[in-house]
Amino acid sequence: MSAQSADSNGNKPTVVSTFAGCGGSSLGYKLAGFRELLAVEWDDNAVATFKLNFPDVPVYHGDIAKLTGAECMRLAGVKSGELDVFDGSPPCQGFSTAGKRKFDDPRNSLFKEYARLIRELQPRVFIMENVTGMVKGCMKQAYLTIIKTLRDCGYRAKGAVLNAMYFNVPQSRERVIIIGVRNDLEIEPSHPKPQTRPITPRIAFDNCPDGEIKLLPDWLRRATQYMQPGNYSEVPTKKAFLKVKGKSSGSINTKLLSWNRVSCTLVKSEISDTGIIHPDKKRYLTIPEMKRLTSFPDDYSFIGDRKNIVSRIGNSVPPNLMRAIAEHIRKEILRK
């Protein structure tokens, strides 16, 4: 059955999600009307969180390098060429602008496992998400290698930088989205256009549920008086740190939100006293506020302590961003 006839008969388009994390992408696909056949993830806490929120989705809990195409298709209940969308966000630390961006970083090789499964499953469409660091400076060569590898799997592939803040996500979060369409479909890949204006914390936090409060240490509370709310450059924060404690360590990962400017990107860890500071300058963000800024619904469940949850949220693809991408794929590619 073709994608077009399946959609017109009311059957939901299908997706397999690799590097699924706690389910940010999966929630986006669900909101876009997709049916997830399988999720692939190795992290224990992420898998537990995923299963809590998606109890009906089968999960391969293990190393993607050990997942064969045959086993993937068996678990998903599809044959080669039948799957609509194959999704994945390979770990991106080696490409991140926050790191040293080493071209030969072993963490950059996981996309090869993603490509291997694409080659075997031959989905109609694939979607790959990664950090913008892969298209900047010396890493452009790595990006071109990734595009060529994906095209060699039998696809027309195109990448674009999308910012989640234009897709109903109250957070500035730029990501490279690579979309591939199988050659035999003869459709050029395309990306969704911006849909919304940026949403500020004042709007995002309206009627937000209460959460556990984590107060700032005294020195950091004093430093906020010299920081510029909504200025996410390291320069003013570094000056504030030097003025109050005499050293700038941690300033690059510490941001002071403004009520009236869209939030900065939420990161996956709060090391020592670093973190995102609430606009009132007295405390860090609560977990419910982080969920709001990432477009997770208030009732989305997370497991573990604050460290676990911050890691899950910071590593997630914002659900509303993936919803916009999935809806675009369904309308502009699968239905054609």
For residues 94 and 92, give the distance between their C-alpha atoms in angstroms, rounded to a whole number: 5
Q: 240: which 2 tokens? A: 């504030």
For residues 180 and 188, give the distance between their C-alpha atoms in angstroms, rounded to a whole number: 8
Any bridge partners for residue 283, and if so which? 215
What is the separation, in whole angstroms, between the first and last Cα of the chain?
A: 14
Q: Collect all residues with Cβ–Cβ distance below 8 Å to 240 and sequence separation of at least 6.
A: 223, 224, 225, 226, 227, 251
Among candidate residues 22, 72, 92, 264, the one labeled active-site is 92
Q: Collect all residues with Cβ–Cβ distance below 8 Å to 42 and sequence separation of at least 6.
A: 61, 62, 63, 64
Residue among 157, 159, 158, 160 at smallest CA distance from 183: 157
- 126: part of which helix (H) or strand (E)? strand 125-131
Active-site residue flag, 138: no
DSSP string, 46-100: HHHHHHHH-TTS-EEES-GGG--HHHHHHHHT--TTT-SEEEE----TTT-TTS-
Residue 142: left if φ>0, alpha if ψ -120 to 50, beta else—which one?
Answer: alpha
State whether residue 121 is helix, strand or coil.
helix
Which residues are identified as catalytic? Answer: 92
